[in-house]
Chains A and B, each alone.
Chain A
Amino acid sequence: MTSDEHPVLSTHGLSIRFGGHVAVNNVSCEFRPGSLTAIVGPNGAGKTTYFNLMSGQLSPTSGSVRLYGEDVTRLGAPQRTKRGIGRAFQLTNLFPNLTVLENVRLTVQSRAGLGLNMTSMWSSHVELIEKAEHFLHAAALTDRRNELASALPHGDKRKLEIAILLALEPDIFMFDEPTAGMSVDEVPVVLDLIHHIKAQSDKTILLVEHKMDVVRSLADRIIVLHNGYLVADGDPDEVMASPIVQEAYLGTGMAEHV
């Protein structure tokens, strides 16, 4: 962790309440460029909710989110995406009746700011298509380009999620369990991609992940959420050894993953 640099993204006393349930409770945390932070915790700990608050899918009950020091708490997801937050979803969240290529092309088109162009043909913007194909290639999906997203097997849907995230070309990559439900031989493709992003030192990566071997091989830092609270934050080995984490995991039957 390069602590001398300013944080790219930070949350300050971030909380959200659903009725009587506080899903994320007073979480303050900073994320710095060039770091890969894994967010771990048992199911229902608030990891995905915390992600949703940062990427703008949810608005917090209290607290704030800052991006490059600017308060973005009141901005919606589109504006945050435009400012550099890129998000891949845990439950695949695609355009089901559009082709694989079109899913990515729409993403490239958003980046290019061409969405409001009504007078040209979409197919005349060849550079967008080529760029989309480049990201499909990176996610090993070139063969599937003309299939409908809904027709893909699960593993390929997850790869498409990642291709879309790559196509957003964000400064902050948010992966929500990118390898969940993937077959053993597909997992390395995804991990290689994440390694590749990490090698570009100016990118910030946030990763929600259950598989501890994945976390250990990738993370520079681990934060642990438990019942909506941030209970541990630090170096991976340190965090995994701390009693509070052991208890949090042991207490919910996650010990076998540690």
Chain B
Amino acid sequence: MIIKTLLSGDLPRSRILSAMLLAVLIGLILAPFVFPGARSLNVAATICVFVVLVASYDLLLGYTGVVSFAHTMFYGIGAYGVGLALNGMGPSWWAVFVGTSGALALSLVLALVIGLFSLRVKAIFYAMITLAVASAFAVLASQLSDFTGGEDGRTFRVPEMLQPGFRLLDTEILGRAIDGKLITYYLVFFSALALFLFMLRIVNSPFGRVLQAIRENDFRAEALGYRTVIYRTLANCLGALIATLAGVLMALWLRYVGPKTMLSFEVMTDILLIVVIGGMGTVYGAVIGSALFILAQNYLQVMMGKASVAMSGIPFLANLFHPDRWLLWLGVLFVLSVYFFPTGIVGRLRARALTRERP
């Protein structure tokens, strides 16, 4: 019952999916203890942030049917907001608060302006406008180098409690020091979890249902009395604000902001790919998609290196699986997954569960 309320009545509806979600959840909770090492913890934190970022994009693309290319801009605003505030005001919680609220305010204004000006027009024009605004913002961030650090970005110090040198307890727990890095990780994890559950509630609220109606048939939604411009604009603002918070979390984790990691178009394409692979309009797709994608991005190269060594007897195969070709194989994996799971992994698993129920 509590679980049902937490998940807003939107259960995974597939045993395999439930198992996968549970595995990701447990993996992320225990990551600092089970997978020691800076790299694996970094992967886990990135997954947490991307779940939020991708789910907030799914709110737009999967639920409302709005195609936006400005999502990384809002992510970047959050990251730069907190990064520049900490850089300028010194490492204090006050700076985190100021940076976060400033970033949220800027995102809200931008999302409102973009929304009200362009959500009345056809979808393709809206996509183009968001692309233009996002590109302009990325250029601005790298040009204002005195302020933003330009292409190099900015590193900054986080509040003491989140610094790696900080020790909450003198003793170790399960062989791991309770240090600032661990505290930061759990800050990221629990924020991501809360934001995820919040989004799950939104899409299962009466409001979320209207968003789906707009995606399905905006003309009819109007005829039922729903003013679609208002709903689209609100969805746009919500998506933007949550993406901003994802940016804040990422900046606190990395203790760095830069255009490449926060604003580049590659981040945008990553988001798009994850949404499609995970399953549009499901929210859960963001969890499965992000976990698979970030793991593949980080470990495919390593795995291929091992495979290549193992196949060193056969030059052709060894060459094919050379670690340098990991991007090619990542691409192949995407094409295959989109081809075989057009409704995404979650959509596929749910359809499977449904056919098993009613044969």
Contacts and interface: CB of A to CB of B under 8 A. Distances in A.
Nearest to B228: A78
A41 to B, nearest CB: 23
Interface in B1-25: 5, 8-9
Contacts of B352: none
A166 interface: no
Contacts of B219: 57, 93
B225 interface: yes
B210 interface: yes
Given A76-B227, A97-B216, A98-B213, A115 B206 contact: yes
Given A81-B223, A82-B225, A117 B205 contact: yes
Given A118-B208, A122-B208, A122-B209, A94 B217 contact: yes
Binding site secondary structure of chain B: helix
B224 A110 contact: yes
Contacts of B201: 118-119, 121
Contact of A87 (B204, B210, B216, B223): B223
B223 A109 contact: no
B266 interface: no
B204 A95 contact: no
A6 interface: no
Interface string A74-88: 001111011000010
Nearest to A117: B206
Contact of A115 (B8, B204, B217, B231): B231
B220 A122 contact: no
A118 B216 CA distance: 19
A87 B219 CA distance: 12
B207 interface: yes
B210 A115 contact: yes
Contacts of B212: 95, 98
Nearest to A161: B220
Interface in A179-204: none
A110 B205 contact: no
B211 to A, nearest CB: 10
A82 B222 CA distance: 10
B226 interface: yes
B224 A107 contact: yes
Contacts of B9: 121-124
Interface residues of A, number: 37
Contacts of A115: 206-207, 210, 226, 231
A102 interface: yes
A217 to B, nearest CB: 28
Contacts of B220: 89, 93-95
Contacts of A111: 225
Interface in B184-243: 201-202, 204-210, 212-213, 216-217, 219-228, 231, 234
B217 A57 contact: no
B208 A98 contact: no
B278 to A, nearest CB: 18
Contact of B217 (A95, A120, A124): A95
A142 B207 CA distance: 25
A164 interface: yes
B33 to A, nearest CB: 35
Contacts of A119: 201, 205
Contact of B205 (A55, A89, A122): A122
Interface string A4-46: 0000000000000000000000000000000000000000000
Interface string A126-150: 0000000000000000000000000
A95 B216 contact: yes
Contacts of A89: 220, 223
A234 interface: no
A116 B225 contact: no
16 contacts: A76-B222, A81-B224, A93-B217, A93-B223, A98-B212, A102-B209, A106-B213, A106-B224, A107-B224, A109-B210, A110-B224, A115-B207, A118-B202, A120-B206, A122-B9, A122-B206
Interface of A: 55, 57, 76-79, 81-82, 87, 89, 93-98, 102, 105-107, 109-111, 114-125, 164, 168
Interface of B: 5, 8-9, 201-202, 204-210, 212-213, 216-217, 219-228, 231, 234
